[in-house]
């Protein structure tokens, strides 16, 4: 499969200045992707663009990842209805470093990382206006969708600071072309206008043709909303913000309609492998093999195989496909981090209340009597003794289908 074929098959093609995608198949060059440093972690929305980057790397392209150490001090107005809250230089620097570690984990030594603060910190206002601003006409800038929306009668307005953002990003492309031989920008669909600024500036200043290719913003086919937003907010790559277990569960709960697309975008499985998974999935949707494959592969990609194995086993135990007492210590740790952890009381009903699985001893006793309580996968019988339920160490206490706690016995 050629690069253009793979990009199309995986769903990575939105808009491009290339007249024909097949131009990408011969003579691999150097591309760049920039990341915003307004947060100290990327989300799975950012991951989609990085997966497109991986596709290019597999086909022989060289990658430059641009940290927005300078542009993040301004804030990209794209997709925003109001002005961003400006952050301090120290905060942006810390964010750049944190995200850089995530990117290095994903790519290893296959990329070069640069920071646009390196050139903007050496440029004064007069130089910027003469050397960059002079090459941009106001007319096409004010017609950009996100600028026009903010400047309209019902818009919140836009400061000159955010209005100038697209010029800064255009200059990024020029510097990367001159210093690193970059001839292609890869970005999300919301960066199309900024990409055109770079293409135009390189043509005007260097007399050279460069290009931009954007991938679609991923939309949850079941809800129509931007993909990666959950009730608790964004799904982050940082394990401190979205735990590997919750990350795994997010993918495990993917809708049937979109799971094939997500497999193509968020895993490195090739076409034959994905075709096999989808064939099995379509034969038995209840088995959810597509979601299980997606969850494992995406978690392995972001958090490593060992962590993916741990959360997979822990998840299987919670939902009936494994035995809690057979879990390894690392796998038990996953559950201890996600579930309430309490010490056992002499009376089981009191332990249920303590773990938050019942509101009162009376309710707990009723749950036990109805056969709704399980310990380490075994149903608790009403007539069994209260002192024989738990083993020494960690135990899994379950009420009904989806309520759990870890109970410790010293």
Q: Residue 344: pLDDT above 80?
A: yes
Q: Which pLDDT band holds residue 153 (cuts at 50, 70, 90)?
A: low
Mean pLDDT of 67-84: 74
Q: Which two tokens stand for residue 218?
A: 């991923």
Mean pLDDT of 135-162: 72
Report the percent of the chain where pLDDT is more than 70.
Answer: 92
pLDDT tens per residue, range 273-310: 999 999 999 999 999 999 999 999 999 999 999 999 99
pLDDT at residue number 86: 80
* Residue predicted with more confidence, 388 or 281: 281
pLDDT at residue number 230: 55
Mean pLDDT of the chain: 90
pLDDT at residue number 231: 52
The separation between CA 148 and the C-alpha centre of its own chain, rounded to angstroms, equals: 29
Mean pLDDT of 167-196: 95
DSSP category for residue 14: S
Spatial distance between the Cα atoms of 139 and 309, rounded to a whole number of angstroms: 55
> What element of type H or E holds 62?
strand 62-67
pLDDT at residue number 366: 94
* Residue predicted with more confidence, 349 or 383: 349
> What element of type H or E holds 213?
strand 211-215
Q: Are 217 and 23 in contact (CB under 8 A)?
A: no
Parallel/antiparallel/unpaired status of strands 373-375 and 393-399: antiparallel
Spatial distance between the Cα atoms of 172 and 165, rounded to a whole number of angstroms: 11
Q: Which two tokens stand for residue 77?
A: 């107005």
Q: What is the dihedral of CA 383, 388, 390, 396, to 10 degrees?
A: -20
Q: Are 176 and 182 in contact (CB under 8 A)?
A: yes
- List the one residue out of 373, 404, 403 whose CA is nearest residue 386: 373
Q: Which range among 197-206, 354-363, 377-386, 387-396 shows the weakest confidence by mean pLDDT?
A: 377-386
For 273, what's the count of Cα atoms within 13 Å in the CB-facing half-sphere?
9
pLDDT at residue number 220: 76
Q: Are 212 and 198 in contact (CB under 8 A)?
A: yes
Q: Which range among 211-225, 267-281, 357-371 shows the weakest confidence by mean pLDDT?
A: 211-225
Q: State the Cα angle at 286 between 223 and 47, rounded to 5°.
A: 45
Q: Residue 146: pLDDT above 70?
A: no
Mean pLDDT of 35-61: 94
């Amino acid at each position: 499969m050629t690069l253009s074929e793979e990009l199309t098959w995986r769903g990575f093609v939105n808009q491009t200045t290339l007249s024909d995608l097949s131009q990408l198949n011969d003579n691999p060059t150097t591309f760049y992707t920039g990341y915003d440093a307004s947060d100290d972690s990327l989300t799975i929305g950012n991951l989609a663009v990085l997966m497109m980057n991986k596709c290019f790397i597999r086909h022989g392209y060289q990658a430059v990842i641009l940290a927005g150490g300078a542009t993040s001090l301004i804030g990209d107005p794209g997709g925003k209805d109001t002005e961003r809250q400006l952050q301090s230089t120290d905060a942006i620097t810390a964010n750049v470093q944190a995200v850089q570690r995530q990117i290095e984990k994903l790519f290893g030594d296959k990329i070069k990382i640069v920071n646009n603060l390196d050139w903007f910190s050496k440029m004064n206002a007069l130089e910027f206006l003469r050397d960059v601003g002079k090459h941009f006409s106001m007319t096409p800038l004010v017609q950009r969708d996100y600028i026009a929306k903010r400047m309209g009668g019902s818009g919140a307005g836009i400061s000159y600071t955010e209005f100038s953002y697209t010029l800064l990003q255009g200059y990024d492309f020029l510097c990367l072309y001159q210093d690193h031989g970059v001839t292609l920008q890869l970005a999300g669909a919301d960066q199309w206008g900024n990409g055109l600024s770079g293409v135009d500036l390189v043509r005007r200043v260097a007399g050279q043709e460069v290009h931009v290719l954007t991938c679609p913003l991923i939309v949850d086919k079941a809800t129509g909303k931007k993909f990666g937003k959950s009730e608790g907010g964004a799904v982050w790559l940082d394990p401190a913000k979205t735990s590997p277990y919750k990350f795994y569960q997010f993918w495990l709960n993917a809708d049937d309609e979109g799971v094939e697309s997500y497999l193509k975008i968020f895993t490195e499985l090739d076409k034959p492998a994905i075709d096999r998974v989808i064939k099995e999935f379509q034969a038995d949707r209840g088995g959810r093999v597509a979601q299980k494959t997606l969850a494992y592969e995406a978690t392995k990609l972001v958090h490593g195989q060992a962590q993916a194995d741990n959360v997979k086993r822990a998840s299987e135990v919670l939902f009936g496909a494994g035995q809690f007492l057979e879990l390894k210590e690392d796998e038990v740790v996953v559950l201890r981090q996600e579930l309430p952890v309490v010490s056992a009381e002499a009376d089981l009903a009191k332990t249920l209340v303590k773990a938050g699985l019942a509101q009162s001893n009376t309710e707990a006793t009723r749950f036990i009597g109805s056969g709704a309580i399980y310990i380490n996968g075994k149903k608790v019988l009403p007539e069994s003794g209260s002192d024989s339920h738990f083993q020494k160490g960690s135990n899994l206490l379950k009420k009904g289908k989806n309520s759990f706690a870890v109970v410790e016995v010293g």
